[in-house]
Amino acid sequence: MRLALFTTCLVDVMYPSVGRATVELLERLGHEVTFPEAQACCGQMHVNTGYQEMALPILRNHLEAFAEADAVVAP
How much is the pLDDT for 28? 97
Please state the pTM of the whole predicted model. 0.79
CA distance 53 to 2: 32
How many other C-beta atoms lie within 10 A of the C-beta of residue 42? Answer: 20
What digits encode the pLDDT tens for the residues 46-69?
Answer: 999 999 999 999 999 989 999 989
- Which of 64, 62, 72 lies closest to 4, judged by CA? 72
pLDDT of residue 15 exceeding 90: yes
pLDDT at 10: 86
Tell me how far apart the alpha carbons of residues 57 and 4 are, in angstroms, rounded to a whole number.
Answer: 20
4 band by pLDDT with thresholds 50, 70 and 90: very high
Phi then psi for 4, rounded to 5 degrees? -105, 130
DSSP letter, residue 42: -
- Domain parsing of the chain, residue ranges: 2-73
